[in-house]
Amino acid sequence: MDWHLLGLSFITVFLSELGDKSQLAAIALSGRSQSPRAVFFGTAGALLLTSLLGALAGGAVSEVLPTRLLKAIAAVGFAILAIRLLFFNNEE
């Protein structure tokens, strides 16, 4: 087991999930329900499943495309998102 990669993955996902819409949905659901434990297990299961699908898809794509190209595609994608958020945000 690559403990460094495990820790890096945990920290990256943990920080990116703080305050996102799935966490807000979990807060709203648990506030209205009598069973916050069920909300926890439901949301944790959903996050685990989406993470599994992402890891499997990433592994499959990495078999087809070189790592350098994958990193370049990810960098361009994030740059486009950043530019869009900075300059094309339609809030007034």
**What is the separation of C-alpha 68 from the centre of its chain, rounded to a whole number of angstroms?**
21
Query: Is the residue at 53 inside a domain?
Result: yes
What is the residue range of 10's domain? 3-65
**For range 68-88, the mean pLDDT:** 90
Which tens digit of pLDDT belongs to each residue from 8-49?
888 988 888 777 788 888 888 888 888 889 999 998 999 899
59: in domain: yes
In a domain, 17, yes or no: yes
Domain membership flag for residue 84:
no
Is residue 75, in this structure, part of any structural domain at all? no
Q: What is residue 37's three-state secondary structure?
A: helix
What is the per-residue pLDDT for 90?
66
Examine residue 55 and state whether it is found in any structural domain, yes or no: yes
Helices 36-64, 67-87: inter-axial angle, 10-degree rounding = 130
Tokens for 41, please give them: 């297990």
Residues 51 and 13 sit within 8 Å (Cβ to Cβ): yes
Confidence of residue 87 (pLDDT cuts 50, 70, 90): confident
